[in-house]
Structure 1
């Protein structure tokens, strides 16, 4: 009898923690929710519901690896708990493992043959699997051709008489074009598809000529700005230019990846950034992020947005362009900037980074993967990545890498920070994130870094709040599965 009473007390206490976690989750305090779910699990480690709930909280924080681990544990502890399969599938999809996710959706659909929701999820995931296979097949047939060669028929597109938007001058981007384009976008109007295609073809040719590591020189008295993730928040991008000035030969910028996805103005962001890159190729720089990839774009909205605003053809064109984005930049041979972080192996040199073959989708391991996906950790050494891709690296790893390569510090992005930035590892690892109130839910500030060539060892931080935007919610164009698996 006393044993049953003890079990009841444990269950009641665990349920109390779970209920507290649910409140934190509802209030979007996902870290606190994870903490409470963990306490519930410690008391009742066989309860599949607790693992499934924690899996979803990890998913909201983009900790896909931890989310997958909890999804697996939910299914292991209760193979009949179908929501566990959904959680595992959600994590698999977020990692781009569509085939494995499909197996879970199929499992549920077979056990609930009359459940329309289960059938729809299986059908939608199956479409993604088939589309991914098709894209892979056609891309491997023609890897060397430029977009202009592949789509020469686009030159014949006519400009309608009633189009009143910005126009390229003799096929080239000018400052007037860029100023008009940004104002046009603020009015929620769309650049003509002929000019959009032209910009993509031009940027494709340019990026092919770039190395995987781009060296940047900032003169002694010159200013240089580094921005982190933008994630389709166009109106916050405009606020950066308002606060810090438009890009120019005297006001250079580096945008450090994740230009698109989640925010529903990703098309406007990417054409603005590509336009400035074409206008100021030696003073405006773009690094690839983990979201400049096919799988991420399929899940988190960019592909859907491009198809909604233009065509599926254009979505495929972006996939090719992203493959040629540089992976990192080195400023004055003293500061290395990449989207994610450092490496699973020791003794990596800058020449190793220059020699990366980047014309591909991000691999699941290796230098390119780590540059796009890794995160710092406070503890020494290397650790398991909660994202399920890349690694976590400690201050000793950063110190050794900087010493071996003659660097003062590294700058990376990839993580939401409450203040928009964070200085870690004794000042040698700086994170900058430039999308304030990320996804309209996180209440974080955005930030950018300004450097002076003479005092490059003294980064300056500017923080700012989110600005209003039109009533289009984040993830408006995301895969329909994203709204269902949560």
Structure 2
């Protein structure tokens, strides 16, 4: 090996050590950049690829993680960490069968590793469970509405129940405020009232189109929030900073209300209760986490089962299918959870006509609305997540021109400052879960618009303390092993 090659190897090792320090400090983007520099100097070191894959996983860039781990395996087919990292990324994407193959390979390479044995067993259990559920599942055409089988009126409220009550059919502000306080004390409301809130919300959502037009009168304002992800106490902080939802103080929560954070039931019941209270002042959009596959993995299903019972698991899955997919505010601002499309020429009328009552498909307009991300390069590229695509400023500009719009607001990605302005100022990402998963150290943000100008006023905020219940407390047992 010549001296230049020696020097490159040494520099790459130094970069790896710096990257490891950044990783330990939860600075995952910085770690990725440093691992990338190490790879440029020495691309034949499988460790660098596997480590970068792990950092991608932490940023939920599972598609990139699979690519890097695959590269580590190509460089060294006997390097068990490559299979391990790829298996973990597949697992996070809900691809249990692919994950199982990789963990079987880890076990082959490291037959006496107790950790590999334990994780392989958990993966086998998860795959068996999925096969069983697939075997007993009913086709879409045969599925009956769970909501139609529930009559909350016949559910008795025991005399000893000391929590807030709804008298009759109307949900009142006094009830909602009492419910918020109950949740603060880590208590739940009676199932009768939970059913009443969810069923009333379903009724309202069923009447809404897939693309909702929002009109803000001149002088009025409107607040858009991004992902909340079960961080109930940070949701309360948004209301502290910006006021409770009301006819004069309307909100749009732009998807990913649940999963990850372990107060998702409290978040969803709060948002749904305000929807019932002020149907024209609380707007809710579907995110990629309002789906069965995500809820099964990332905690919402387990939390609902624990706090409310099995029937609510099915009920929430049904309600999530009726959430609108996008909003347009004052014919100027397009708000969507994920992003834009793999083809040009998509009109608002195309979005309006999507038949949304289903689990999100793996391709097509609905998938892309929920999953796509912006990229700094022009054109379109593969998704970092392994689902949908990445799109550039030219794609954003053309969509806005084609539909006579001024701005896109989307969520879906953690940002250090709670927001990021991209694509020549025509696209804003807003994320409202500060210190995401209790480890990212990011700020949260929301955007206030005032009519008629509709210029974005971005407000950032920091995380507030919450009770000692860790994120992912109710998540799939197998996934928690990799956190």
Into which bin does the TM-score normalised by the smaller protein fall?
Answer: over 0.9
Which deviates the most, 248-257 or 389-398?
A: 389-398
Name the counterpart of 2:463.
Answer: 466
- Within 2, Cα distance between the matches of 1:134 and 1:142? 20
Deviations 1:287-332 (A, max 9, x none): 0111111222222222222222232332232222212211101112
- Closer, same or farther in 2 for the Cα pair 1:313/1:49, shift >3 Å? farther
The offset of 1:149, in angstroms, is 2.4
Name the counterpart of 1:105.
Answer: 103
The offset of 1:478, in angstroms, is 2.0
The normalised TM-score by structure 1 is 0.93
Name the counterpart of 2:477.
Answer: 480
| 1:352-371 pair list within 5 angstroms | 352-371=350-369
Find the residue that maps to 2:376 and give its secondary structure.
coil
Find the residue that maps to 2:327 and give its secondary structure.
strand
| Structure 1 position 323 matched with structure 2 position 321 | yes
Name the counterpart of 1:148.
Answer: 147
Deviations 1:403-460 (A, max 9, x none): 110111111111122222222222211111111222222222211111122222x121
- Within 1, Cα distance between the matches of 2:62 and 2:438? 20
| 1:53-64 pair list within 5 angstroms | 53-64=51-62
The offset of 1:228, in angstroms, is 0.7
| Structure 1 position 429 matched with structure 2 position 427 | yes
| Structure 1 position 254 matched with structure 2 position 252 | yes
| 1:387-426 pair list within 5 angstroms | 387-426=385-424
Query: Is this contact kept in 1: 2:80–2:110, CA < 8 A?
Result: no
The offset of 1:129, in angstroms, is 3.1
- Closer, same or farther in 2 for the Cα pair 1:173/1:113, shift >3 Å? farther
- Within 2, Cα distance between the matches of 1:107 and 1:166? 54
Find the residue that maps to 2:346 and give its secondary structure.
coil
The offset of 1:116, in angstroms, is 4.0
The offset of 1:144, in angstroms, is 5.5
Name the counterpart of 1:238.
Answer: 236
Which deviates the most, 55-64 or 214-223?
A: 214-223
Among 195, 201, 224, the alignment partner of 1:197 is 195
Among 140, 149, 164, the alignment partner of 1:166 is 164
Find the residue that maps to 2:345 and give its secondary structure.
coil
Find the residue that maps to 2:452 and give its secondary structure.
helix
Question: 5+ unaligned residues in a row in structure 2: which ranges?
Answer: none
Deviations 1:61-91 (A, max 9, x none): 1111111111111222222222211211111
| 1:435-454 pair list within 5 angstroms | 435-454=433-452
The offset of 1:7, in angstroms, is 5.9
Name the counterpart of 1:15.
Answer: 13
Deviations 1:352-399 (A, max 9, x none): 001112222222221111111111222221122212112221111111
- Within 2, Cα distance between the matches of 1:249 and 1:143? 40
- Within 2, Cα distance between the matches of 1:4 and 1:483? 46
- Within 2, Cα distance between the matches of 1:354 and 1:31? 36
- Within 1, Cα distance between the matches of 2:150 and 2:229? 28
- Computed over aligned residues only, the root mean square deviation of the Cα atoms, in angstroms, reads 2.1
Find the residue that maps to 2:424 and give its secondary structure.
helix
- Closer, same or farther in 2 for the Cα pair 1:188/1:164, shift >3 Å? same
| 1:371-386 pair list within 5 angstroms | 371-386=369-384
Query: Is this contact kept in 1: 2:91–2:479, CA < 8 A?
Result: no
Query: Is this contact kept in 1: 2:377–2:392, CA < 8 A?
Result: yes
The offset of 1:22, in angstroms, is 0.9
Name the counterpart of 2:283.
Answer: 285
Find the residue that maps to 2:363 and give its secondary structure.
coil
| Structure 1 position 138 matched with structure 2 position 134 | no
Query: Is this contact kept in 1: 2:229–2:433, CA < 8 A?
Result: yes
Which deviates the most, 359-368 or 19-28?
A: 359-368
Find the residue that maps to 1:462 and give its secondary structure.
strand
- Closer, same or farther in 2 for the Cα pair 1:201/1:123, shift >3 Å? farther
Query: Is this contact kept in 1: 2:92–2:479, CA < 8 A?
Result: no
- Within 2, Cα distance between the matches of 1:199 and 1:274? 6
- Closer, same or farther in 2 for the Cα pair 1:126/1:325, shift >3 Å? farther
- Within 2, Cα distance between the matches of 1:418 and 1:468? 19
- Within 1, Cα distance between the matches of 2:458 and 2:218? 19
- Closer, same or farther in 2 for the Cα pair 1:254/1:64, shift >3 Å? same
Find the residue that maps to 2:448 and give its secondary structure.
strand
Query: Is this contact kept in 1: 2:78–2:109, CA < 8 A?
Result: no
- Within 2, Cα distance between the matches of 1:265 and 1:186? 10
- Within 2, Cα distance between the matches of 1:43 and 1:317? 53
Which deviates the most, 3-12 or 423-432?
A: 3-12
- Closer, same or farther in 2 for the Cα pair 1:274/1:438, shift >3 Å? same
